[in-house]
Chain A
Amino acid sequence: MSITVENLSYVYLPDTPMQKQALFDVSVHIDDKEFVGIIGHTGSGKSTLIQHFNGLVKPTSGRVLVDGVDLTQKGVNLRAIRRKVGMVFQYPEHQLFGETVFEDVAFGPKNSGVPDAALEDRVREGLAMVDLDLDVLRERSPFELSGGQKRRVAIAGVLAMKPAILILDEPTAGLDPRGRDEILSQVQSLYQAWDLTVILVTHSMEDIARMAKRLIVMDHGRIALDGTPQDVFSNADKLRSMGLGVPQVTTLIHELHRRGLVQRRDIFTLDEAESEITRVLELKRHGNA
């Protein structure tokens, strides 16, 4: 499923002293089955933008089309849209409401028409994808879990709906390193297995460099950069001036480049850095021998 945004502007609390324009004339198209990362400084408008994608927020002006359906049209069936657009919000606590973990995770699939008999399996599957065990947590209150456990439950609830578009707003904030890696690789394999469209909002340059094929950079309510990770991360200074940065390995590689050890500057992941450094060190070793 594709998403098209045309000349989207959004103003919070219009005509009040606290009026705040969060989006300025944003236009962007996200294709079916794309894996897009959205990065940007805090307050740059990332969450506001993606909340337009399931009709949760209505444009002040401009249009948003999901799978060709204009969400700004009167009488549009938002329920049907929300069934297909799974959204994991930035703060998981806001999404949790069930009295038990089971109820919470079952809510989405139940609402999208999964029969009761199949619910149990869906819930178990959803929880397993975030490394939680239904048998341990079934009757626990989601409000009495640790921060990272809450986030996992919130993500499980969305995955259990098997959406066509998966939107994740800072899904790894508050997760431990293992959980972060596991959930991201889960997203990656679902992306392939389910033919998903994935939109991932994150502050982790490391994660996004590894995962997304396309990066959209927001800056003060506008799209400042849009391209491959290579394109985007070649603007190190510009990114820094926008509150962002490059992955730490890129900083390392740039410094090694300045010192003349490596020739390449376009390295963004640990894997690439490992093999490039190994290569030059081995050359150096043989050169000296």
Chain B
Amino acid sequence: MADALIEFRNVNHIYGKGTQQEWDALIDVSVSIRPGEFVAVLGHNGSGKSTLAKHANALLLPSSGCVLVDGMDTRDEETVWDIRQRVGMVFQNPDNQLVATTVEEDVAFGPENLGVPSPEIRRRVDEALLAVDMLEYRLHSPHQLSGGQKQRVAIAGMIAMRPKCIVLDEPTAMLDPVGRQEVMQTVRRLNEEENITVLHITHYMDEAIFADRILVMESGRIALEGTPAQVFSQVDTLYKLQLDVPQMTALAHRLNKRGFSLPADTLTVDELVNQLCQ
């Protein structure tokens, strides 16, 4: 597909290749991510989500097959820089990503490396910190922050790079409910207003509701793919894949088992309220 921003073509990834501990983490994965798309990736522990994500900016290279970012092959060493500029990444544990002595230096690190002029850096840093509600911590050391605060700084650091695509690997796992909401709103706004492509890996089914498309991984393969309504209405299949459905979908499903007839693709509180109060 020519208009894909990221294209995985028959990607295999084997960890520990040639050792006694070979592990097939991705098996013949083909999928393309379109510019401006919001894609959520679900799947049980060890199903290959992080491995997939790390292929999107050449942190990992396919054992066979290829990954194209904006048409550039990640195996081509000369493109790594261009690829990392286009695809920003936030990991499960931000501890390993925060490097500078203050929060604002940390956020400035990316744009500085890109050669962005200083006044512009200042503006981007403030904007990014404001977006994650961490502006008042800009002079703190990242190491003194709590887990959730670190996650927000890591996200700010990525936003300041103005990438075309952001890959978030469980960015909200350590956040309080309001923090999670803020991050998800931030990510959605970046997607909708700035047209930034989003690849969002999560174990919170509720965070996948807003995606354009959901990919469900299982043992290194994409087992299920579709819109949130299409995917989450397959309640029993998801349970079999050790996953869950959004709380409101689960409740509607249970009520239906008791003889009511609510739409199987109910996803949000508002939808369920409206259906119940009809």
Contacts and interface: CB of A to CB of B under 8 A. Distances in A.
Contact of B144 (A18, A90, A281): A18
B214 to A, nearest CB: 14
Contacts of A90: 147, 174
Contacts of A281: 255, 260, 276
B176 A203 contact: yes
B243 A178 contact: yes
Nearest to B147: A90
Given A147-B170, A179-B44, 6 more contacts: A42-B176, A147-B92, A203-B177, A251-B269, A252-B273, A270-B254
B172 to A, nearest CB: 9
A41 B277 contact: no
Interface residues of A, number: 53
Contacts of B242: 176-179
B232 to A, nearest CB: 12
Nearest to A17: B139
15 contacts: A39-B176, A42-B147, A42-B175, A43-B146, A43-B148, A47-B147, A144-B21, A147-B50, A173-B174, A177-B242, A178-B244, A243-B176, A244-B178, A249-B251, A270-B251
Interface of A: 12-13, 18, 20, 39-44, 47, 90-91, 93, 139-140, 144-149, 152, 170, 173-180, 203, 205-206, 240, 243-245, 248-249, 251-252, 255-256, 259, 261, 270, 273-274, 277-278, 281
Nearest to A45: B146
B147 A249 contact: no
Interface in B92-109: 92-93, 95
- For chain B, the bracket of interface size reads 35 or more
Contacts, number: 142
A148 B203 CA distance: 10
A13 B258 CA distance: 58
Nearest to A174: B173
Contacts of B50: 146-147
A170 B174 contact: yes
B173 A173 contact: yes
B140 interface: yes
Contact of B179 (A140, A145, A146, A243): A243
A245 B258 contact: no
A149 B46 contact: yes
A261 B176 contact: no
Contacts of B95: 91, 93
